[in-house]
């Protein structure tokens, strides 16, 4: 059994894909716009949706993270209802990821040693997503 993450964006999914691909040094896979969808069952992308991302994915630290723009009329809410966790092998990588991801001038937790991790940081990125950045391997 596996668990992957699917993230929705408010029309800026392509920007998010490019940003995260750069941060995590990975390639965008399966990019499809709403206008690329086959005209099955009478579906035709609206003018507002045709250039939005319907689906794409990135492999980040061994996990598949899937991306999409919310189509017109679909409620989109950014927030802290999801926290993504990425694992690094070195303190320097924790610091690099924190610096690239974090936009909060008063971060919840800059890189530091904690009682629960050898080295840890929490960042909030420009898309409103929160990231746990942990030195070590996946928790059980």
pLDDT digits (tens, 9 = 90+) for 64-78: 999 999 988 888 877
**Three-class SS of residue 18?**
helix
Q: What are 83-137's pLDDT values in tens digits?
A: 899 999 999 999 999 999 999 888 889 999 998 889 999 999 999 898 999 998 7
Q: DSSP assignment, residue 15? A: H
* Half-sphere CA count of 6, side-chain side, radius 13 A: 6
Q: How far is CA 49 from the centre of its chain?
A: 21
Instruction: Give the CATH number of domain 83-135; options: 3.20.20.80, 3.30.720.110, 2.40.30.110, 3.40.640.10.
Output: 3.30.720.110
* Half-sphere CA count of 41, side-chain side, radius 13 A: 1
Q: What are 14-56's pLDDT values in tens digits?
A: 999 999 999 999 999 999 999 998 776 677 888 999 999 999 9
CATH superfamily label, 5-69: 2,3-Dihydroxybiphenyl 1,2-Dioxygenase, domain 1 (3.10.180.10)
């Amino acid at each position: 059994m596996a668990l992957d993450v699917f993230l929705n964006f408010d029309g800026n999914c392509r920007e998010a894909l490019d940003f995260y691909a750069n941060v995590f040094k990975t390639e965008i896979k399966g990019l499809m716009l709403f206008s690329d969808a086959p005209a099955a069952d009478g579906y035709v992308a609206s003018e507002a949706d045709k250039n939005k991302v319907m689906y794409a994915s990135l492999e980040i630290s061994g996990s598949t993270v899937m991306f999409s723009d919310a189509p017109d009329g679909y409620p989109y809410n950014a927030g802290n209802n999801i926290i993504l966790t990425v694992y690094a092998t070195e303190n320097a990588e924790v610091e690099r990821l924190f610096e690239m991801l974090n936009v909060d001038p008063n971060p919840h937790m800059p890189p530091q040693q904690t009682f629960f991790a050898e080295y840890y940081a929490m960042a909030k990125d420009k898309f409103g997503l929160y990231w746990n950045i942990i030195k070590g391997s996946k928790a059980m």
